[in-house]
Structure 1
């Protein structure tokens, strides 16, 4: 009896072609793929989660890989599904890496350097002012989110005074701030799949911004990581329990060490344009993902 998995993978940026390659390789191993299983269109009833006529909870595995279209409803069903079938990534790993504070807290607990951070209660403005006086510059980050959205650099009292009413308006009970790290405005994005190093590229902030995220105007360039960077990325991915991870690392010029900024549970494949630049890790990434699905679905 052949195995059957569900997949929800982003289609933009060459994702549709990546999906076809994954499905083809899985078929060669007698694994059938039901694609485009968007849990937003699913219904839970009578002990099952239905997507059309498919009982998603009866599949051998669900592979969710779409960062840009997640909703609270989908995440809620994601959690329920992971109680009964294997997931890539697991719900626990997904939820952890979606939360900046929880990720940084766990990484530091395991000896992995991150920027200095504090979690503050909204009403404790005195404590926040002490942090500002101590750090001089800091970054406000939503505890969830991706692509650099919502990041605010706070480097004076005026910026802080503008931010606080916004936080109150958003009814945020707590917020997360990091000490601003002095670095060369470039980072490493290291892809790890199933504990193995897949590939790496660099990102550089634009002249008008300090964020390296492409969605914030950053640009991608070819970059080879050294053994230390790869080892840090592997350890961070393992600590977070991720089957697939993109680990963002920068070099702190003041502390003279590499620090992990973020562990992304849904790192994009190289786009067709990036492949033309020389980013050639897609095939290896696909092979490792297919190997992992094969292993996790064997009965």
Structure 2
């Protein structure tokens, strides 16, 4: 494979809000220092697949040495579908199979639990198995959380803390085109969590999030706020283990402390964890430089491996 100016090329689609433009510029500059050219703006929304190729904004995607898709808020089914196809041809960070596993909340909890990690108690029920849902409400101490198995930012998550609340939700569940519903035991915690960023098997950042007054969801999009939080070894090890079990290159692991059972619980694993915004950096949450360095090192490693593989095929 030959590239313009001799440098291998990688593709990047990066979110542009909340400081994303500046992060992208730093990634591009750091990759250039390592002899790697970054082609930006490769939003697969603009791509077409034909003749054995995926072409996006004039770039034949299969000719790239690697691709980084880092935009959680603008993903569509079309983009994810092409991402899956692209992962079969070139290194994508994260690999699609790992990405798809971690994007599914039920599959994530089920897989981690099977491998001995503590997650929230859960149940997956057929949409017409209302008896199973009622059993879960009683078994989980009268409080559970309904979650869509996909999505992000706390969208669609509903707390159910009584038979009356369940009765109000039941007509909605039975009328939708959902094939199943997923619920978790509501965990008694202090309305704060840890968000731990992991890149290539190492922790690169940690901060805390706190739910707004009279609420319980810590997501920033749900009104949560961030604060500086010290990381302990146990939480760090849980985050790394969860990331590795899911096969992810990059992850943001959400962990809370279960006060009733006195243990840490892996609540969710995010595949596109945001960098600290300029406002968050002003609060002292300063992990962006370390995260960028780790991501650049990861991309370089994947590029070198890809080039070595291609050269072996040619030889």
Superposition deviation, residue 132 in structure 1: 1.3
Q: Deviations over 1:169-188 (max 9, x none)?
A: 32111010000000011000
CA contact (8 A) 2:147 2:183 kept: yes
Unaligned runs of 5+ in 1: none
Look up the SS of the partner of 1:250 in the other structure: strand
Distance in 2, matches of 1:12 and 1:296, equals 27
Indicate the residue corresponding to 1:89 in structure 2: 94
Q: Deviations over 1:166-212 (max 9, x none)?
A: 12232111010000000011000001000011010000111131100
Counterpart mapping for 1:136-285 below 5 A = 136-285=142-291
Unaligned runs of 5+ in 2: 1-5, 308-315
Indicate the residue corresponding to 2:40 in structure 1: 35
CA contact (8 A) 2:99 2:248 kept: yes
Look up the SS of the partner of 2:276 in the other structure: coil
Indicate the residue corresponding to 1:80 in structure 2: 85
Equivalent of 1:24, from 1, 24, 29?
29
Indicate the residue corresponding to 1:117 in structure 2: 122
The runs of at least 4 aligned residues of structure 1 exceeding 2 Å deviation read: none
Query: Is 1:45 matched up with 2:24?
Result: no
Superposition deviation, residue 15 in structure 1: 0.4
Distance in 1, matches of 2:152 and 2:297, equals 28
Superposition deviation, residue 52 in structure 1: 2.5
Look up the SS of the partner of 1:12 in the other structure: coil
Per the normalisation by structure 2, the TM-score is 0.94
Indicate the residue corresponding to 2:303 in structure 1: 297
Aligned pair count reads 299
CA contact (8 A) 2:128 2:174 kept: no
CA contact (8 A) 2:248 2:271 kept: yes
Two-structure CA RMSD over aligned residues (Å): 0.8
